[in-house]
Structure 1
Amino acid sequence: MKTYFAQLEQAMAQTSSFDGQTAKIIHLTNAHGMTASFMDIGATWLSCTLPIEGQRREVLLRSPTMAEHMKQDAYFGAVVGRFANRIAKGQFAVDGKRYQVGINNGDNSLHGGVEGFDKKRWTVVERSANQVVFALHSQDGDQGYPGNLDVKVTYTLTDANELSIAYEAHTDQTCPVNLTNHAYFNLAGEASGAKSLDHMLQLNADYYLPTDAGLIPTGEQKPVLGTSFDFMQPKRIGEEFLTEPDQQTAGGYDHAFVFKPEVTDGISAAAVLIAPKEDVTMTVLTTKPAIQFYSGNFLAGTPGASKTYQLYDGLALETQYFPDGPNKPEWGLNNGVLSSGDCYQHQTVYQFEF
């Protein structure tokens, strides 16, 4: 274990990051030997290992070095914000005033803009044997967003083999806020050669959000029934892959799925991912109304920990509010706009069985 942690530190904390300083790495281990590692750059979930058959299985994708981490645009394991996912043309209106935020994804803003929360150094405010708390202050005007925003993210590794992520935020002006973690999972192992398409997935979601060519939701909430987006029962991801125009536009799955309201209580199974050999099951519990299921359609050529990644080498399950929500007032509370004085409070748990 110490050797593994040392290798991780050597890869990510030997050379300077965006601000010219080296990253701080924090390691957590539970009673069963499961580990989770984090760094203060992007409050990033850097590593997750499971003790399986005497081996240490890494189930997260990541960059091989800090230098490569700074070049990649996959957002490996980072907390993304202020607004996760896309905002059309980087524009929205709040309280009658229009705002323009950074464009970094075609014509649109993605994951907070050019210098989103993934590129910031977060402060480690608390840490213990099983928990680390990161905090970030985003000043008024950061990336074009209104208001001073204070964010806290708490990672807890439990002896029930759960990685819990609790999000809290406060703003002094009404502002879009949509925080998520952008971990990429491969439950067969980061170096296994298995694909996201080989996994089984269940999403307790009756609807998904179709998108235009720029992957901005059209505004429709489309029933999954009778489509390739139906994951109400566990299904191999590759089974109906690229069989419909809504998938073909995105090169696979890169869509928000709208959870049944009753599974967003933080204690019900909202999503379940099963490894190709069924030796690992990951259950997602959340208080968020939706999840962006991304099958790794743009990974090709990205340097990774064990190899250069190819298409579908990992997948993301990002719990969140609806993409482009600030421009869709008809979505009501799911649009991800935080009122001044209100507290943003959400939790997502990734529970592993092995």
Structure 2
Amino acid sequence: MSLKLITLSNKQGMQIKLSNWGATWLSCLVPVEKVNREVLLGCYSLEQYQQQHAFLGATVGRYANRIANASIDIEGKHYKLIANEGKNQLHGGADGFDKRVWQVHSQSNQHVTFSLVSCDGDQGYPGELTVEVTYELTENNQVIISFKASTSQTTVVNLTNHAYFNLDGEESKDILNHTLQVNASQFLPVDKYGIPYENLVSVTKFDMDLRQAKRLSERLLDSPERQKTGGYDHAYLLDKTQPIAAQLTSSDNKVTMRVMTTKPALQVYTGNYLQHTPNRHNGEYNNFAGIALEAQFLPDSPHHNNWPQPNCWLKSDETYQHQTTYQFVVN
């Protein structure tokens, strides 16, 4: 199956580029004062996308984020998954969906649907999983990403997009002077490996409160939680009474990105380990070059059925269906 490059555009002059390699979001050009601003981190070539380890813009699965000890128990049976981050599994394993060539199922000027079949036992997961991911660019500068999946037997599913944003323009040094607001009153504390070590706690604990817009550089490494992970790399349980999950604003205040999602949680990752990742100018990014806002189930959810969120299990008679929208507003 050949690699394909697909461009979507709208009448406002906004343009995004996508590839069937990893169903990846490659580029996002937003017109700002008559100049197209590239707000998405990306590589110089598709070959570099295949070599980098930061999941730039990719669709990740079967299970986004971490599963402790790379194992799950389903209906009384123990499954050993492929570990790819020490003893844990990250983003679906060493050969996750981000490294697959997807089929282009359908496309138009403003949408594309990618499809993939993941075989029973893929990366250790039970069941044959059929997946579709649709990207749509609307006339009001929304990028809507819709996920759909069905399985032949009970499994776990947690799909997300791993785009990194820099609303100042991806050539700018970092995102530390961006401001971020996340409508969440609870978050998950994690150990240095990103594995939750206790239940959800108030965001007021460990200085993790983002309910009011906060500059990302503010006391960045003062919190013991952020010290462990080198910055923000934490899941927030979203307040679903609020239509907007998160709002990110560039340091020049010219671009705001709003995130809306049907998923229960948002992983906030400030690109703490992006150093040496190839950039789109044939150079390299540094740490904090971009921020990922990944809508998903809470990390390690298969081991925590008590958490207040929809469960992450998918049965053969069910359909997994979720949607995340990134809207770009030029101020």
Deviation at 1:333, TM superposition (A): 4.4
Equivalent of 2:288 in 303, 307, 312:
312
Q: Please name the residue that 2:318 is paired with.
A: 342
Q: Please name the residue that 2:176 is paired with.
A: 197
Describe the superposition over 1:192-242 as per-residue Cα deviations: whole angstroms up to 9, x where unpaired. 22x221110000000110012211112310101254210101110111201
What letter is aligned with 1:273? L
Deviation at 1:67, TM superposition (A): 2.4
1:111 to 2:91 alignment: yes
Q: 1:332 to 1:175 in 2, by over 3 A?
A: farther
1:331 aligns to what SS in structure 2?
A: coil
The question of whether the paired residues in 1 share the 8 Å contact of 2:259 and 2:325 is answered with yes
Query: What residue ranges of structure 2 are gaps of 5+ in the alignment?
Result: none
Q: 2-side partners of 1:44 and 1:68: how far apart?
A: 13
Describe the superposition over 1:34-58 as per-residue Cα deviations: whole angstroms up to 9, x where unpaired. 0011000100001000111222111
1:322 to 2:298 alignment: yes
What letter is aligned with 1:55? V
Q: Please name the residue that 1:249 is paired with.
A: 228
The percent identity for this pair of structures is 47
Equivalent of 1:175 in 145, 155, 158:
155
Q: 1:227 to 1:256 in 2, by over 3 A?
A: same
Q: Please name the residue that 2:106 is paired with.
A: 126
Deviation at 1:68, TM superposition (A): 1.9
What letter is aligned with 1:308? E
What letter is aligned with 2:202? P
2:306 aligns to what SS in structure 1?
A: helix
1:153 to 2:137 alignment: no
Deviation at 1:65, TM superposition (A): 1.8
Equivalent of 1:100 in 48, 60, 80:
80
CA RMSD of aligned residues (A): 1.2
Deviation at 1:261, TM superposition (A): 2.5
Q: Please name the residue that 1:142 is paired with.
A: 122
1:292 to 2:251 alignment: no
What letter is aligned with 1:211? V
1:168 aligns to what SS in structure 2?
A: strand
Q: 2-side partners of 1:293 and 1:22: how far apart?
A: 33
Deviation at 1:302, TM superposition (A): 1.2
Deviation at 1:72, TM superposition (A): 0.8
The question of whether the paired residues in 1 share the 8 Å contact of 2:164 and 2:290 is answered with yes
Deviation at 1:188, TM superposition (A): 0.3
Q: 1-side partners of 2:301 and 2:134: how far apart?
A: 25
Describe the superposition over 1:135-191 as per-residue Cα deviations: whole angstroms up to 9, x where unpaired. 111110111100011111111000000000011111111111000000000000011
1:166 to 2:141 alignment: no
Q: 1-side partners of 2:231 and 2:106: how far apart?
A: 39
1:90 to 2:70 alignment: yes
Q: 1:257 to 1:332 in 2, by over 3 A?
A: closer
1:309 aligns to what SS in structure 2?
A: coil
Q: 2-side partners of 1:201 and 1:228: how far apart?
A: 14
Q: 1-side partners of 2:251 and 2:156: how far apart?
A: 38
Equivalent of 1:269 in 238, 244, 253:
244
Deviation at 1:94, TM superposition (A): 0.6
Equivalent of 1:283 in 234, 237, 258:
258
1:73 aligns to what SS in structure 2?
A: coil
TM-score by length of 2: 0.97
Deviation at 1:327, TM superposition (A): 1.0
What letter is aligned with 2:323? Q
2:307 aligns to what SS in structure 1?
A: helix
Q: Which moved more, 1:213-222 or 1:138-147?
A: 213-222
Q: 2-side partners of 1:226 and 1:143: how far apart?
A: 36
